[in-house]
Amino acid sequence: MRVAVVGCGGMGRVHAGEYAIMPGVELVGVCDIEYHLAEELAARTGTRAFSSYEDMMSQAKPEVVSLALPSHLHKEYICRSAKLGVHVISEKPISLKAADAREAIQACEQHSVKLFLGHVVRFFPEYAQIKKAVDEGILGKVGVVHLKRVGSHPGAAREWYFDEEKSGGVIVDLMIHDIDFALWTLGEPKSVYTLRRTSEASDYALITLLFHNGAVVNLEGHWGDPGNFRTSAEFAGSGGVIRADSENSKSITIRKAALDSKGNRFAEIPESPSVHSPYYLELEHFIHCIREDSNPTVTPEDARRALIVANAARESADTGQVVYFGHEFGRETYQ
Amino acid sequence: MKKQIKVGMISFAHGHAFSYLEGLSRIPEAVVTGISHPERSKIEDALMRTEADYYEDYHDLLQTDIDAVIICSENIHHAQLTIEAAKAGKHVMCEKPLGLSVPEMEEMISVCREAGVQLMTAFPCRYLSAVVRAREAVMKGEIGEIISMKGTNRGSMPGGWFIEPSLSGGGALLDHTVHVMDLMNWFLPDSRVTDVYAYANRIFHEEIKVEDTGMIHVKFDNGVFGVIDTSWSRPRSFPTWGDVTLEIVGTAGTISVDSLAQKNEWFIDKAGKGQHHFWGDSMDDLLVKGFIEALVKDLPVPINGVDGLRSTEVALAGYRSVETGQPVRL
- CATH code, domain with B102: 3.40.50.720
A75/A117 Cα distance (integer angstroms): 12
Q: Is the pLDDT confidence value at B214 over 50? A: yes
pLDDT at A136: 94
Q: Phi-psi bin for B299: left (phi > 0), alpha (psi -120 to 50), beta?
A: beta
Whether residue B226 is contained in a domain is answered as yes
Short-list B72, B12, B68, CA closest to B40: B12
B96 and B171 together in one domain = no
Helix B172-187 to helix B305-324 angle (10° resolution) is 130
- Structural contact between residues A94 and A305, judged by C-beta atoms closer than 8 angstroms: no
Domain ends where: B95, B122, B149?
B122
Q: Does B204 touch chain A (CB under 8 A)?
A: yes
B125/B180 Cα distance (integer angstroms): 8
Range of the domain at A16: 2-120
A57/A79 Cα distance (integer angstroms): 14
Whether residue B285 is contained in a domain is answered as no
Position with higher pLDDT, B2 vs B228: B228
Helix A176-186 to helix A300-319 angle (10° resolution) is 120
Whether residue B289 is contained in a domain is answered as no
A167 and A312 together in one domain = yes
Summarised one tens digit per residue, pLDDT across range A133-158 is 999 999 999 999 999 999 999 998 89
Residues of A in contact with B325 (CB under 8 A): 191, 322, 324
Sheet holding B253-258, edge to edge: B253-258, B245-250, B146-152, B225-229, B213-220, B193-201, B328-329
Domain ends where: A85, A120, A155?
A120
Residues of B in contact with A237 (CB under 8 A): 203-204
Q: Does B320 touch chain A (CB under 8 A)?
A: no
3-state secondary structure of A79: helix
pLDDT at B152: 97
Whether residue A71 is contained in a domain is answered as yes
Domain ends where: A90, A120, A150?
A120
Position with higher pLDDT, A45 vs B269: A45
Q: Does B176 touch chain A (CB under 8 A)?
A: no
Domain ends where: B80, B105, B122?
B122
Summarised one tens digit per residue, pLDDT across range A245-297 is 998 888 887 777 666 666 666 777 788 888 899 999 999 999 999 999 999 99
Sheet holding B91-95, edge to edge: B53-55, B30-36, B5-10, B68-71, B91-95, B119-122
Chain B residue nearest residue A201, CA to CA: B251
Q: State the amino acid at position A40 in one-letter form.
A: E
Range of the domain at B130: 126-280+313-329
A170 and A208 together in one domain = yes
The burial of A70, by beta-carbon neighbours within 10 Å (0-12 exposed, 13-18 middle, 19 or more buried), is given as middle
Whether residue A178 is contained in a domain is answered as yes
A189 and A163 together in one domain = yes
Q: Do A208 and B195 touch (CB under 8 A)?
A: no
In sequence order, the β-bridge partners of residue B15 are none
Q: What is the 3-state secondary structure (H, E, C) of chain B?
A: CCCCEEEEEECCCCCHHHHHHHHHHCCCCEEEEEEECCCHHHHHHHHHCCCCEEECCHHHHHCCCCCEEEECCCHHHHHHHHHHHHHCCCEEEEECCCCCCHHHHHHHHHHHHHHCCCEEEECHHHHCHHHHHHHHHHHCCCCCCEEEEEEECCCCCCCHHHHCHHHHCCCHHHHHHHHHHHHHHHHCCCCCEEEEEEEEECCCCCCCCCCCEEEEEEEECCCCEEEEECCCCCCCCCCCCCCCEEEEEECCEEEEEECCCCEEEEEEHHHCEEEEEECCCCHHHHHHHHHHHHHHHCCCCCCEHHHHHHHHHHHHHHHHHHHHCCCEEC
A318 and A177 together in one domain = yes
Q: Which long-range contacts does A18-22 make (Cβ < 8 Å, 24+ apart)?
A: A18/A277, A18/A279, A18/A280, A18/A283, A18/A284, A19/A45, A19/A66, A19/A283, A20/A45, A20/A46, A20/A47, A21/A280, A22/A280, A22/A283, A22/A284, A22/A287
Whether residue A11 is contained in a domain is answered as yes
ipTM above 0.90, yes or no: no
B195 and B207 together in one domain = yes
Domain ends where: B122, B149, B170?
B122
A203/A172 Cα distance (integer angstroms): 11
pLDDT at A268: 76
Q: What is the 3-state secondary structure (H, E, C) of A145-195?
A: EEEEEEECCHHHCCHHHHCHHHHCHHHHHHHHHHHHHHHHHHCCEEEEEEE
3-state secondary structure of A61: coil
Whether residue A79 is contained in a domain is answered as yes
B66 and B101 together in one domain = yes
Q: Do B226 and A197 touch (CB under 8 A)?
A: no
B253 and B133 together in one domain = yes
Whether residue A329 is contained in a domain is answered as no
A113 and A152 together in one domain = no
B111 and B163 together in one domain = no
Q: Do A237 and B204 touch (CB under 8 A)?
A: yes
Residues of B in contact with A241 (CB under 8 A): 233-235, 238
**For the domain that residue B195 is a member of, what is the CATH number?**
3.30.360.10
**Stretch A47-69: mean pLDDT:** 98
Q: Total domain count for chain B?
A: 2
Task: List phi, psi (to 5°) of B74.
Answer: -60, 150
Q: Which long-range contacts does B3-6 make (Cβ < 8 Å, 24+ apart)?
A: B3/B29, B3/B296, B4/B28, B4/B29, B4/B30, B4/B31, B5/B29, B5/B30, B5/B31, B5/B67, B5/B68, B5/B292, B5/B295, B5/B296, B6/B31, B6/B33, B6/B64, B6/B65, B6/B66, B6/B67, B6/B68
**For the domain that residue A46 is a member of, what is the CATH number?**
3.40.50.720
Whether residue B274 is contained in a domain is answered as yes
Q: Do B237 and A240 touch (CB under 8 A)?
A: yes
**Stretch B149-169: mean pLDDT:** 97
Summarised one tens digit per residue, pLDDT across range A95-143 is 999 999 999 999 999 999 999 999 999 999 999 999 999 999 999 999 9
B265 and B160 together in one domain = yes
Q: Does B251 touch chain A (CB under 8 A)?
A: yes
Whether residue B39 is contained in a domain is answered as yes
Mean residue pLDDT across chain B? 95
Q: State the amino acid at position B168 in one-letter form.
A: S
A111 and A136 together in one domain = no
B101 and B117 together in one domain = yes
3-state secondary structure of A218: strand
Q: Is the pLDDT confidence value at B324 over 90? A: yes
A227 and A268 together in one domain = yes
A80/A89 Cα distance (integer angstroms): 13
Q: Do A202 and B251 touch (CB under 8 A)?
A: yes
3-state secondary structure of A235: strand
**Stretch B237-256: mean pLDDT:** 92
**For the domain that residue A216 is a member of, what is the CATH number?**
3.30.360.10
B53 and B65 together in one domain = yes
Whether residue A93 is contained in a domain is answered as yes
Q: Is the pLDDT confidence value at A332 over 60? A: no
Distance in Å, alpha carbon of B106 to nearest chain A alpha carbon: 30
A211 and A94 together in one domain = no
A307 and A191 together in one domain = yes
B164 and B273 together in one domain = yes
Q: Does A212 touch chain B (CB under 8 A)?
A: no
Q: State the amino acid at position B301 in one-letter form.
A: V
Residues 6+ apart with CB under 8 A from A42: A29, A30, A48, A49
pLDDT at A259: 62
Short-list A219, A196, A165, CA closest to A317: A196
Lowest mean pLDDT among A130-144, A187-201, B258-272: B258-272
Bond from prior residue into B97 cis (ω within 30 degrees of 0) = yes
Q: Total domain count for chain A?
A: 2
B182 and B317 together in one domain = yes
The burial of A188, by beta-carbon neighbours within 10 Å (0-12 exposed, 13-18 middle, 19 or more buried), is given as middle
B73 and B187 together in one domain = no
A128 and A76 together in one domain = no
B132 and B237 together in one domain = yes
Whether residue B299 is contained in a domain is answered as no
Short-list A42, A11, A53, A15, CA closest to A158: A11
A169 and A232 together in one domain = yes
* Disruptive mutation site among A134, A138, A139, A144 for chain B (greatest number of B CBs within 10 Å): A144
pTM recorded for the entire structure: 0.87
Whether residue A185 is contained in a domain is answered as yes
pLDDT at A334: 46
A270 and A176 together in one domain = yes
Whether residue A280 is contained in a domain is answered as no
Q: Is the pLDDT confidence value at B64 over 50? A: yes
Distance in Å, alpha carbon of A274 to nearest chain B alpha carbon: 28
Q: Do B233 and A236 touch (CB under 8 A)?
A: yes
Summarised one tens digit per residue, pLDDT across range A216-245 is 999 999 999 998 899 999 999 999 999 999
